[in-house]
Amino acid sequence: MSIPALVEPAAELTVDEVRRYSRHLIIPDVGMIGQKRLKNAKVLVIGAGGLGSPALMYLAAAGVGTIGIVEFDEVDESNLQRQIIHGQSDVGRPKAISAKESVEEINPLVKVVVHGERLDNDNVYAIFEGYDLIVDGTDNFATRYMVNDAAYFLGIPYVWGSIYRFDGQASVYAAGLRNSDDPVMREAAAEAPCYRCLYPEPPPPGMVPSCAEGGVLGVLCASIGSIQVNEAIKMLTGMGDPLVGKLMIYDALEMEYRKLKVRRDPNCALCGENATVTELIDYESFCGAVSEEAADAAAGSTISVHQLKQWLDDRDDIFLVDVREQVEWDINRIPGATLIPKGDFLNGSALEKLPSDKQVVLHCKSGVRSAEVLAILKGAGFSDAVHVGGGVVAWVNQIDPSQPSY
Ligand SMILES: [Zn+2]
């Protein structure tokens, strides 16, 4: 699906700009006019993390005139394996500031706008307004749906990407252009799907691990982030055939790219003919931090890491179970725990390993998976089982800072 250029060309390029962008200018498809469009473009990048890092760096180098950065977090040592816009000396500093400085070092001709806050329903319109295109580098489902809906209502197309371990995906969701004032744009986007056309419902809570729980190969971020910039440049300048109505799937282990067709869903809750989502919704509850069963099981059966420490010191009838995976156990652990991964509870093989005369205490990395397992255990008759709120992350932060975190 080809889409007309999103941006009108700027009046001029300066001599400095012509020198800097000469390798673009001599590509006939880009030329002076394409580079002037990039100069006039305003692109918002959500997140200065795994995908945002390469995206920001290449957008800056390409000469996108105004780049917005939405990011509230600070640089952590565990980010540096993949978030290459930040360096060692940035640890502990706001990511948005660190990213801004890197962008300005790459290309001082770019104007950087920092939005140093967490994106939410109250600020999303004000932040998005005025941008031609959004590059979404978020890592959680609640924010993804919010970005999709807000971009659609404001008529802004966006480039989406997602990464996990060795697998990446990318697409361009341009359904919002049907809300454009420009009839040519409305016509071009007549069949463009949105994220909800492809994923009408978020995955059940706890089913899809995040990169923080499951890991990600650092260089995968560059593969997907650079595809996002590639598509952004095409959309801004009207070049080629962008990933509108197509989903790119990348497998780094097989080194295979596949492209699937994604159709607009005429019954889509957001961009369909009888839309039911007509304004921003409560995305946290739509996506659910934990499932209802897990939340019920955890209510009144959650202990703190301090309580756990006391139990481990004072009692000898505690059976502490770590439901994470072996690779996580190899990084850090709570002393005295037994590793029984969540999968063994799902297939039932874990139950025979549990003593019936001891107090069973479950923990995982942050408390989400252990709450899911707690629901299974309670269903199997372990009514006094509990789980540890905050998991091993809280243990390392509050009880034993000598251990590494991840
Ligand atoms: Zn849709």
Identify the burial level of 403 via C-beta atoms within 10 angstroms of its C-beta, where 0-12 means exposed, 13-18 middle and 19 or more buried: middle
Cα of 4 vs centre of ligand 1, distance in Å, is 21
pLDDT digits (tens, 9 = 90+) for 12-29: 999 999 999 999 999 999
The answer to whether residue 271 is catalytic is: no
Cα of 264 vs centre of ligand 1, distance in Å, is 6
Neighbours of ion ligand 1 (CB under 5 A): 194, 196-197, 268, 270-271
Closest to 366 (Cα-Cα) out of 311, 406, 313: 406
Distance CA 366, CA 394 (A): 7
Identify the burial level of 273 via C-beta atoms within 10 angstroms of its C-beta, where 0-12 means exposed, 13-18 middle and 19 or more buried: exposed
Domains of the chain: 15-287 (3.40.50.720), 292-398 (3.40.250.10)
Work out whether strand 256-261 and strand 246-251 pair parallel, antiparallel, or are unpaired. Answer: antiparallel
Provide the token pair at 209: 């691990």
Cα of 1 vs centre of ligand 1, distance in Å, is 16
Cα of 276 vs centre of ligand 1, distance in Å, is 11
For residue 289, the model assigns a pLDDT of 66
Cα of 328 vs centre of ligand 1, distance in Å, is 37
Contacts of 267 (CB under 8 A, 6+ apart): 273, 274
Q: Which of 221, 268, 287, 364 is catalytic?
A: 364
Is residue 270 over pLDDT 90?
A: yes
Q: Which residues pair with 74 in a beta bridge?
A: 94
3-state DSSP assignment of residue 359: strand
Identify the burial level of 374 via C-beta atoms within 10 angstroms of its C-beta, where 0-12 means exposed, 13-18 middle and 19 or more buried: buried
- Is residue 51 a contact partner of residue 221, using CB atoms and an 8 Å limit? yes
Is residue 224 over pLDDT 70?
A: yes
Q: Which of 194, 197, 211, 268 is catalytic?
A: 211
**Distance between start and end Cα atoms, the chain:** 41
pLDDT digits (tens, 9 = 90+) for 359-406: 999 999 988 889 999 999 999 999 999 999 999 999 998 999 999 878
- Is residue 337 a contact partner of residue 399, using CB atoms and an 8 Å limit? no
Mean pLDDT across the chain, nearest whole number? 94
For residue 200, the model assigns a pLDDT of 87
Cα of 198 vs centre of ligand 1, distance in Å, is 7
For residue 214, the model assigns a pLDDT of 80
Q: What does DSSP assign to residue 351?
A: G
The answer to whether residue 364 is catalytic is: yes
Cα of 196 vs centre of ligand 1, distance in Å, is 5
Backbone angles phi, psi at 257, to 5 degrees: -110, 135
For residue 310, the model assigns a pLDDT of 97
Distance CA 277, CA 291 (A): 22
